[in-house]
Structure 1
Amino acid sequence: MLDAAILVGGSSSRMGSDKALLDRCGRPAAVDLHHVLVEVGFDNVTLIGGDGSRFADHSVIHRVDTRPHQGPLGGILTALEATRSEWVLILAVDLPGVSKVDIEKMVEARRQHPFADIIHASSSDGPQPLFGWWRRSTAQTIDRALSMDRRSVRSVVGSLRTEHVEFESAVLRNANRPEDLG
């Protein structure tokens, strides 16, 4: 069984509009990523964070963060607590360069690294743990970090057994401002 969670929380203040609703292939970005993940073969795809009413017109599952205002770690924890699978593919909605081929590459990578806690994307620009597989058991580490008011994804990643999968920098470039889209 393949589970994925698309992180759609965050205020998108630098973008000036909701990143999850930005156009991607004629659909809201979150909805398009959902369709791509289903096309790849994911059984359960959940949008995590923010107000779910944004997606009321679409056939998607949405969960509110169980730990609101905790940044991406809160969203990851919500996804891990909601799954019955050993692994969840985490994907931030603000990575417009991620394609079906890239997701398929990550599916294959999970098979190659059975002992890792996290298998995340990386490029010459550095790691991108918001496109990667997170083992359900990492929820304990995340919960502990959040309980101590530590919200750094990279700090949590650094404390776990981690493997990375190399991608071109353009695939992993965040879209934080309108000019990042073009």
Structure 2
Amino acid sequence: MTLNGHNKHTKLARPSLGNFGRNEWAILGAPCTVIKLLADDVLRALAPDYKGAYADTTHADDMILPPGRLNAGAMLEYTDQIQYSQLSYATPLSPVQLKQHFYQADIVLVNGNHQQAKAQVLVLDENRKASLQKRVSQLTNVELILVSDNTNEVFDFIQDALPHWRDIPMLKVDDAQGIVTFFKSKLIQNLPKLNALVLAGGKSERMGFDKTAIKWHDKEQRYYVADMLRRHCRDVYISCRAGQVAEIDGAYPTLVDTFTDLGPYGAILSAFRSEPDSAWLVVATDLPLLDDITIQHLIALRNPSAMTTAYAGGADGLPEPLIAIWEPKSYPQLLAFLGQGYSCPRKVLINSDTSLVPPANPDALSNVNTPDELDRIKRQLHQKIATDE
């Protein structure tokens, strides 16, 4: 901090990450072999629905020379192993680099004998009692206790370290189904909250006037969309440029673009900058035929394990980025693309893990950017009203 209480750096909302990811557990108190087998069982059981990852350290007696060209002085080696890809680094990865590699994982299990995580799974094993006692300081957030067959009680030093140990779920170490159920319930419990973002910051240059203010349904479209989304999301924001805030009805919270001159891409990044742990249902205001069924359908088919859930639109079936659910894991991906000179949301979706959903009503995805399109949709709406009457 500098003089006069002035902060030198902008204060940013930081995502709730541990050493590796959002949902991470270090397993400690058991031999490494037991930990690895336990991690195998859990990750295999969760694999159909969740992306899992594992972190460990090689034992000192297993140390070998650096692989491949690293031994010749290279700093990095990438190998396409056909069935999997392998990256080998010559130097240790920094905490930031580790998070970058693990950000797509829904769950990270860690060998707690060598690495730490923000939550722990504690194994009580009489044969590892002395070793566990040395690691008591690592028990900062124990969420599950597993008991081995050779252990009949919670060790005294554990009771001292965890005064509320009776409130912690306790299972037998060989209760595979119970352990998997525990992790599933935690992942469901930690599902990112879904916010909504109404994109109203465009300049409507092709239309010639502010298309967010068109009254397709007896109110300005930006408010009509926001009211619709309020029925499905707890927090709804209207995305806008700084100069637009004064013209927006105060009953509707705004979220100002902080990544300027990037269009919708900047609006999405600004939303994540504001709340990096939330998922964002992003909806454009140039969709006059949008309805509740279309929103409900997308939310019902949300895939939190994917980076994004989006409608496959048009004859080409390409993802529609501006009526899509962007998960928190998409934030670093968006920043990475921006760092390489890309600011097209659709390009990000095409080249990322996107869960595509067939639209319940393809017409609801029709957008309006020009006066000709406006006239066409007006006629379509009038015909629908006449038919309904």
TM-score (norm 2): 0.44
Note the 1:3-22 alignment, pairs <5 A: 3-22=195-214
Partner secondary structure for residue 164 of structure 1: strand
Deviation at 1:123, TM superposition (A): 2.7
Residue 179, structure 1, aligned to residue 372, structure 2:
yes
Per-residue CA deviation, residues 131-163 of structure 1 (Å, 9 max, x unaligned), is 010011211111222233311112211232111
Tell me which of 185, 203, 219 is aligned to 1:27: 219
Identical amino acids, percent of aligned pairs: 26
Equivalent residue, structure 2, for 1:41 = 232
Equivalent residue, structure 2, for 1:121 = 311
Equivalent residue, structure 2, for 1:80 = 272
Greater CA drift, 140-149 or 17-26: 140-149
Deviation at 1:23, TM superposition (A): 0.7
Q: Are 2:309 and 2:354, in contact at CA under 8 Å, matched by a contact in 1?
A: yes
Partner secondary structure for residue 236 of structure 2: strand
Deviation at 1:84, TM superposition (A): 5.5
Per-residue CA deviation, residues 36-67 of structure 1 (Å, 9 max, x unaligned), is 111x2311001112222221x34101121111
Note the 1:150-165 alignment, pairs <5 A: 150-165=342-357
Q: Distance in 1 between matches of 2:217 and 2:277?
A: 30
Residue 59, structure 1, aligned to residue 251, structure 2:
yes
Partner secondary structure for residue 163 of structure 1: strand
Q: Are 1:3 and 1:83, in contact at CA under 8 Å, matched by a contact in 2?
A: no
Q: Distance in 1 between matches of 2:265 and 2:347?
A: 11
Classify 1:90/1:144 alpha carbon distance in 2 versus 1 (closer, same or farther; 3 Å). same
Q: Distance in 1 between matches of 2:277 and 2:221?
A: 25
Per-residue CA deviation, residues 61-97 of structure 1 (Å, 9 max, x unaligned), is 1121111101211111111222255411011111122
| Bigger share in strand | 1
Q: Distance in 2 between matches of 1:121 and 1:58?
A: 31
Q: Distance in 1 between matches of 2:257 and 2:207?
A: 21
Q: Are 1:29 and 1:93, in contact at CA under 8 Å, matched by a contact in 2?
A: yes
Q: Distance in 2 between matches of 1:179 and 1:141?
A: 36
Q: Distance in 2 between matches of 1:67 and 1:60?
A: 21
Partner secondary structure for residue 78 of structure 1: helix
Instruction: Give the letter aligned to residue 53 of structure 1.
Output: A
Q: Distance in 2 between matches of 1:97 and 1:80?
A: 27
Q: Which one has more relative contact order, counting CA pairs under 8 Å at least 6 apart?
A: 1
Residue 147, structure 1, aligned to residue 352, structure 2:
no
Number of equivalent positions: 178
Which portions of structure 1, spanning 4 or more consecutive aligned residues, are displaced by more than 3 angstroms?
Answer: none
Partner secondary structure for residue 121 of structure 1: strand
Deviation at 1:10, TM superposition (A): 1.5
TM-score (norm 1): 0.89
Partner secondary structure for residue 204 of structure 2: coil
Q: Where does structure 2 lack aligned partners over 5 or more consecutive residues?
A: 1-192, 379-389
Q: Distance in 2 between matches of 1:24 and 1:121?
A: 23
Q: Are 2:194 and 2:278, in contact at CA under 8 Å, matched by a contact in 1?
A: no
Q: Distance in 1 between matches of 2:291 and 2:197?
A: 15
Equivalent residue, structure 1, for 2:363 = 170
